[in-house]
Chain A
Amino acid sequence: MKGPLKFKRRPATALVAMANSLSMGDAVPGGELRQIITAVVSDRAERAALLAAIRTANDPDCGLAVADLLTAYASEAAEAEAQARDADQVIGQWAQRLAAGALLASFGAAIAGTVTGGLAFGLTLLSFSGFVFATASRIGGRGKMRRRAQDRDSADSLARHVLEAGKLKKEGK
């Protein structure tokens, strides 16, 4: 696998440039770096371009710096995933249970005749909509969790491949 001699300006080459710049002591804004890594990790063409660029690069440490950035991004994504899971299990689950409990309680009160008429209907409606809202918010939170898990896996595998590409370059294959 040999890449082209001259690369276009694209997220993959921008990532190599940023990694090189960081290893030379220049500061790169963290938000921009994260955005570039997200763009590279989630796009197949960018991943392929990054591997080709690492294979073509003249500096053997270049791949190491890029792989380290990718690993740091993966651990950041893992942390975000753990936080999302905590929020889902601690807050989301209990919000759902509270609303379900309120729904059952309003049914019970209406059946027993403690609460009657419009008030009973209003309470049932309120707790039912609370349950629907809690379920919807949990689904949204779990979607984010899954996305972060996918980000972490892709960044991890890309970091491994970048290291491999650097090794191949060193061995002159």
Chain B
Amino acid sequence: MFEAMGLETVIVSTIIGACALSFGASAYLFMRARPQPAAKDLDKIVKNAPYHRLHNVLKVEAGS
């Protein structure tokens, strides 16, 4: 089955396979390193934090 394959075919397919694996692994690493998108705007979170729980503990201005 493999006897008919020439040396050139074997070498070329091996190199292309190795490159494909390497490209795939690098693309995976790139995807991992991408920063996670923020769930919500920080200003909105700060504005809507549960300040009413602080009434005896800490005085926080009502406005932003």
Q: Which of A's residues lie within 8 Å of B, judged by CB?
A: 5-11, 13-14, 16-18, 20-21, 24, 26, 28-29, 31-32, 35-36, 39, 53, 56-59, 62, 84, 87-88, 91-92, 94-96, 98-99, 101-102, 105-106, 109, 114-115, 119, 123, 126-127, 130-131, 133-134, 136-138, 140-141, 143-144
A126 with B58: CB separation less than 8 A: no
Is B1 interfacial (CB-CB < 8 Å)?
A: no
When distances are taken between beta carbons in the complex, the residues of chain A under 8 Å from B45 are 14, 32, 35-36
Q: How far is the CA of A20 from the CA of B60 in the complex (A)?
A: 13
Q: How large is the interface on B (under 10, 10 to 19, 20 to 34, 35 or more residues)?
A: 35 or more
A95 with B22: CB separation less than 8 A: yes
Q: How far is the CA of A19 from the CA of B21 in the complex (A)?
A: 47
Q: How far is the CA of A126 from the CA of B28 in the complex (A)?
A: 18
Chain B, 39-56, contact with A by CB distance < 8 Å: what is the 0/1 string? 110100111011101101
